[in-house]
Amino acid sequence: MIFAKNSNSVEGIYSAVLFAVVLQTISYIILLFGIRRTQYTLNIPYETLLFWMITSLIMFGIAFQKKYYIHLTLYLLQFLLVAYILMAKLDLEGEL
């Protein structure tokens, strides 16, 4: 087993998960800036945006239940960023 069940490994896993969530949130911000700069969204399927939003909501619920407030904030930010990307896509493609 890679991680033993002691406090150091749990803290390490928690830190790794938090770091991954931060990176994912940053990637959404970078994507949003790229969309605003290029005004191009045809390569982003609606299904992908929908799945990102559903995933953010599910993880938001888990973070709320477990009282992981930092994760909660990041998942809420992710949901809002993806919602904004979806609105930008609808606007840029003339479907809004």
What is the tens place of the pLDDT at every residue in 4-54?
Answer: 556 678 888 888 999 999 999 999 999 999 999 999 999 999 999 999 999
CA 81, 23, 88: angle at the middle one, nearest 5?
20
Taking 60 as the threshold, does the pLDDT of residue 91 lie above it? yes
Tokens of residue 4, six digits = 């033993």
Structure tokens at 50: 């929908």
Residue 3: pLDDT above 60?
Answer: no
Question: Considering the entire predicted model, what is its pTM?
Answer: 0.84
pLDDT of residue 27: 95
The class level of CATH for 7-92 reads: mainly alpha
Q: Domains of the chain: which residue ranges?
A: 7-92
Both structure tokens of 47: 């299904």
pLDDT in tens, 54-70: 999 999 999 999 999 99
User: Cα dihedral sign for 26, 32, 35, 37?
Assistant: negative
